[in-house]
Amino acid sequence: MSNLLKHETLSGEVLRINTAVAEPQARGLRTDAVRAAMERADGSVQDIHASPVQVR
């Protein structure tokens, strides 16, 4: 999963940070186990108990 998203519009290119990656990294939650659980859940963090309630 990439940390940067690139959008091309008529007015030019826009780069932004993917918060699905950046926020968990900043909180120290980006582990191999959490990443594998997110992949099994098709990107959802609702049922991952290692994630704080505020993130879910």
Task: Copy the structure tokens of residue 32.
Answer: 């191999």
Task: Judge whether 29 and 36 are in contact, CB under 8 Å.
Answer: no
pLDDT tens across 12-21, in order? Answer: 988 887 766 7
If one compares 48 and 10, the residue with the highest pLDDT of the two is 10
How sure is the predictor about 24, in pLDDT bands with cuts at 50, 70 and 90? confident
User: Which H or E element spans position 14?
Assistant: strand 12-17
Beta bridge partners of 16: 5
Nearest-5° Cα angle at 39, 29 to 16: 65
Locate the domains of the chain by residue range: 1-56
